[in-house]
Amino acid sequence: MQYKSQAVAKPYFIAAIALFVGQILFGLIMGLQYIIGDFLFPLIPFNVARMVHTNLLIVWLLFGFMGAAYYLIPEESERELHSPKLAMLMFWVFLVAGALTVVGYLAVPYASLAKMTGNDLLETMGREFLEQPLPTKVGIVIVALVFLFNISMTVLRGRKTSISLVMLAGLWGLALFFLFSFINPSNLVKDKFYWWWVVHLWVEGVWELILGAMLAFVLIKVTGVDREVIEKWLYSIIAMSLITGIIGTGHHYFWIGAPAYWQWWGSVFSALEPIPFFMMTVFAFNMVNRRRRDHPNRAAVLWALGTGVMAFLGAGVWGFLHTLSPVNYYTHGTQITAAHGHMAFYGAYAMVVMTMISYTMPLMRGRQANSNKSQVVEMWSFWLMTVSMVFITLFLTAAGILQVWLQRVATAPLSFMATQDQLMIFYWLRLASGVIFLIGLGLYIFSFFVGGDQAENQSQAS
């Protein structure tokens, strides 16, 4: 590490991976509940398992983004972090608040939790991804503001680079758009507008700035390509992301009672959304092909290349498959949506956080890269997780196509539950793929404990 305060990132990354494991475990519980409807009922009802699964996804990615910022901002700014103590304080506040929220989901009926946490004072609960009680939402805002103060002061007092400024813009956007979660109008159409301004403008807006900055940072370090070249690519990618993503929000307005013109605006700009992800793929491979050095951390390079490919497939290709209004009329709310969501989140955001962890963890432990043995294990984890996610996506896509046919197109359409009975083979296959994914994640964690021989470790440290 160039700066001592970069070590603050380490507990954030450890917490992120631990929460990632929790997310996958609850995903497997849900996978079994799709097949065995009363599995773990009433201990963990399906709606509770789903809340925990999706909330852990958001929280572990936020921990990952914060850890990445605490590592790259000091290095880009060429100065120590403004306040490492403040960063550690917010780490524990965020971790404890997140843990208590999950315990609340599991221990108390959701309606009772709403009463206990003051939802009557300001009604914010009950919406997908935004189920958090009011005190948790307030806590998230406080943690985010303190975090942004910390890294903003670091940037303002140090060197300004394209990477640090794009990262900062993405993180400020993340915090600002989350404020819409406090607005919950009684009018359902308006409610959906505000809800999508959090969910969509996060994952298809400002999070793409964070993704681009993190990927650019790692590629500069592992390839040695001139910063000017990488920054030009970064600006092009984020420009296309914002141009297509902001107006592309309209593909969520098709069936909520919004004006008819959103059918066209949403379709056209959503159809353009794969472009920045394709640019990201070309960017990653182009930079690696033009590299001026062979970095010893081959696993980090693999994760960086995988991020570009899987983000394009999940967010780009699978998003395009059902984003046009005439197609979405039949596919919305089916397993096709779930297929897109799984691969997009994994490819675009989970993988870039794991890229950052793969690159930075060895440095925070005093070496350029992990041992060859460790990297072999890590690359096995990459392939197990990535291939299993591809199969999860394919099985859910097949289930979604059959669901559309049986439930919405057939001459004598089946009911929702009758249709679900016909999809069981795909749910079994999805579950098996999920188990393999968990094994891959276990290998990823194990790889950091695999050592090399003494001579190799001394060489890496030097």
Residue 341 clears pLDDT 60, i.e. is over it:
yes
Residue 124 clears pLDDT 80, i.e. is over it:
yes
Could you give the CA distance from residue 112 to residue 347 in angstroms, rounded to a whole number? 36
Query: What's the mean pLDDT in 106-112?
Result: 95
Residue 42 burial by CB count (10 A; 0-12/13-18/19+): exposed, middle or buried? exposed
Other CB atoms within a 10 A radius of the CB of residue 372 amount to 15
Give the model's pLDDT for residue 292: 80
Give the model's pLDDT for residue 49: 97
* Per-residue pLDDT tens digits for 87-105: 999 999 999 999 999 999 9
Residue 414 DSSP one-character state? P
Query: Average per-residue pLDDT in the chain?
Result: 94
Task: Tell the residue number behind the tokens 């439930």, with chain if given.
Answer: 407
pTM of the model: 0.95
DSSP H helical ranges for 117-260: 134-156, 162-178, 188-201, 207-223, 227-247
pLDDT band at 69 (very low <50, low <70, confident <90, very high): very high
pLDDT band at 452 (very low <50, low <70, confident <90, very high): low
**Nearest partner of 361 among 454, 442, 437, 449, judged by Cα:** 449
* Per-residue pLDDT tens digits for 137-167: 999 999 999 999 999 999 999 999 999 999 9
* Per-residue pLDDT tens digits for 373-408: 999 999 999 999 999 999 999 999 999 999 999 999
Give the model's pLDDT for residue 293: 80
Sign of the Cα pseudo-torsion (277, 278, 282, 283, in order): negative
Taking CA atoms, 106 is separated from 59, 97, 110, 189, 371, in Å, by: 17, 14, 9, 30, 40
